[in-house]
Structure 1
């Protein structure tokens, strides 16, 4: 983290610091915060665009009906999309995805930095040990807070992005874009529909984002401190090593949280009158869920436990580079923008 000796303090926090000998959480300038937000947004846009075809395939596999299976694997699915929809089909929904992920990533990274500083300050305040540094559990908590804040702030965009991604040229009803989808859902299904699947999303984001940050930062910290393979030079890790840390973090996080992501997608389709024709290929049946638990029960009951991991393979292929690229792009963007503070500094 940035040195706390040079950071400004409010009057109350300064008095507390003087009384207990503990520095309060730092307060950053508006320019520094904007730079950090920009770095997070850049990281999100770059990482998601790089894996956009796999992102679309994952969602299609998640909501694909067992009675109308068109593809089972990653390569087969990508070939089918390319054959039926061409190059544009590979990136369908990416504009909406980036419109959501750019602010989501910006808020997430900034929230993580501020949450980690706040948690560390509170721990030092309680223990009186100013030398204490962030541990994996603290990072997990900070990541969970960041994930909840970012997910809640951008959830309606995620909801309509899922529908835009699922619809095809054969869909009876077509959303023309992000704002048309938002206004249509709001008008036809009500404002609450924009937050369908929010609960499993929030529950899922706690281990997902929490583990992403915790594993990534803890791995980096361990490699720098112990340097087991002689890969750390001057307390810095190479881009390749940081990408590997990000890949490990993404693999752990998405494996734990994936079933909740499947349930979230299915709940988002409820209430969409054309969902059956898009997902199942017919207009006869459409799953209705009373809530998250009911969605879990019906999915397992009708399709088996394995249905909770539909699309896991393309998601794994997507998440490994996506998370890795996001973390490294974020740190590189902050270096280029000259941001004064960074995670793990």
Structure 2
């Protein structure tokens, strides 16, 4: 790779995975914090679609009825919860991708990407779940709590440990398909862009060119993943706000078509740019540390997995 010389750490070392974890925390936490107003609107559109039936009218209603602060409800849950999730997601994805590419030598790349992303996401959602439980309640129940500091003890006092993990299965249902599709789409988009657009190996491109490829692949991955995960996202919001007692009841209450369409527009506006910025920040950290950007498996396995 041309550009930054001198690696901070060697690829696939303990330091490398630590760097990926920190990079994932910083990139995911900051980007999710930045789009908190859109997330507040999204959750309210899912819980009360009659009152919040579009992006513009939804923002207007929140502003008029609850003031500008309402748009930032749950910001601490976004920053901390999704920062922790991002650290697990990106750090463990890098670890599992190398591990599985060494173990499953004769399997194709898609299998490695699917298995690595799903393995990482299982742990990432366990870490996220308590913060998400508080965040959704803070965003949709103004009298519940102001944020994480008071929301976590209130939730524990009212519902015990079960309250923190009540939405874990729907969260896996939302994020596992999303993560699998997002990482796989990103990886294949990176490969396609280098093969057909750049027509050069990643190592032969400048850091700026690599980051450009990262942004294009990241937006594609975010848009595709948003559509796939939208039904489960609606179910999670319904359960956390006690609109249903089970995932099956939530599906019946929402309706099959609404599972895919409700809040989809705001999720596309929300997730596409967020995922793009996450990958950009994450790979910028790598570049600044003298490492290549994301995409592809360990070089010594590429031919075996083509």
Q: Same fold (TM over 0.5)?
A: yes
Question: Structure 1 residue 58 and structure 2 residue 28: aligned?
Answer: no
**Shift in Å at residue 189 of structure 1?**
1.4
The 3-state SS of whatever aligns with 1:255 is helix
Choose the corresponding residue for 1:79, options 53, 56, 60: 60
TM-score by length of 2: 0.84
Residue 13 of structure 2: aligned partner: 28
**Shift in Å at residue 231 of structure 1?**
12
**Shift in Å at residue 315 of structure 1?**
0.9
Deviations 1:259-300 (A, max 9, x none): 111111111122xxxxxxxxxxxxxxxx342x2222212332
Choose the corresponding residue for 1:292, options 208, 225, 247: 247
Q: CA RMSD for the aligned pairs?
A: 2.8
Residue 120 of structure 1: aligned partner: 101
Kindly tell me: are residues 88 and 239 of structure 1, through their superposed partners in 2, closer, same or farther at Cα, counting changes over 3 Å?
Answer: farther
* Larger Cα-atom Rg: 1
Question: Structure 1 residue 246 and structure 2 residue 227: aligned?
Answer: no
Alignment partners' CA distance in 2, 1:79 and 1:240: 36
Alignment of 1:32-47 (within 5 A): 32-47=16-31
Q: Pick the structure with more helix per residue.
A: 2
Deviations 1:154-180 (A, max 9, x none): 211111111111123xxxx43132132
Choose the corresponding residue for 2:113, options 139, 148, 155: 139
CA contact (8 A) 2:231 2:260 kept: yes
Alignment partners' CA distance in 2, 1:244 and 1:50: 20
Structure 2, gaps ≥5 residues long? 1-8, 298-306
CA contact (8 A) 1:119 1:142 kept: yes
Alignment partners' CA distance in 1, 2:224 and 2:132: 22
Residue 333 of structure 1: aligned partner: 285
Choose the corresponding residue for 1:205, options 167, 175, 191: 175
Question: Structure 1 residue 259 and structure 2 residue 231: aligned?
Answer: yes
CA contact (8 A) 1:37 1:106 kept: yes
Alignment partners' CA distance in 1, 2:192 and 2:244: 47
Question: Structure 1 residue 317 and structure 2 residue 269: aligned?
Answer: yes
Structure 1, gaps ≥5 residues long? 1-6, 9-25, 271-286
**Shift in Å at residue 323 of structure 1?**
0.7
Alignment of 1:148-297 (within 5 A): 148-168=122-142, 173-227=143-197, 234-235=204-205, 237=209, 239-270=211-242, 287-289=243-245, 291-297=246-252
Alignment partners' CA distance in 1, 2:195 and 2:41: 40
Alignment partners' CA distance in 2, 1:244 and 1:174: 40
Kindly tell me: are residues 112 and 307 of structure 1, through their superposed partners in 2, closer, same or farther at Cα, counting changes over 3 Å?
Answer: closer
Please identify, of 197-206 and 252-261, the stretch whose mean Cα deviation from structure 2 is larger: 197-206
Alignment partners' CA distance in 1, 2:161 and 2:260: 28
Kindly tell me: are residues 231 and 343 of structure 1, through their superposed partners in 2, closer, same or farther at Cα, counting changes over 3 Å?
Answer: closer
**Shift in Å at residue 222 of structure 1?**
1.5
Alignment partners' CA distance in 1, 2:112 and 2:90: 15
CA contact (8 A) 2:195 2:201 kept: no
User: Which runs of 4 or more aligned residues in structure 1 lie more than 6 Å from their structure 2 counterparts after TM superposition?
Assistant: 228-233
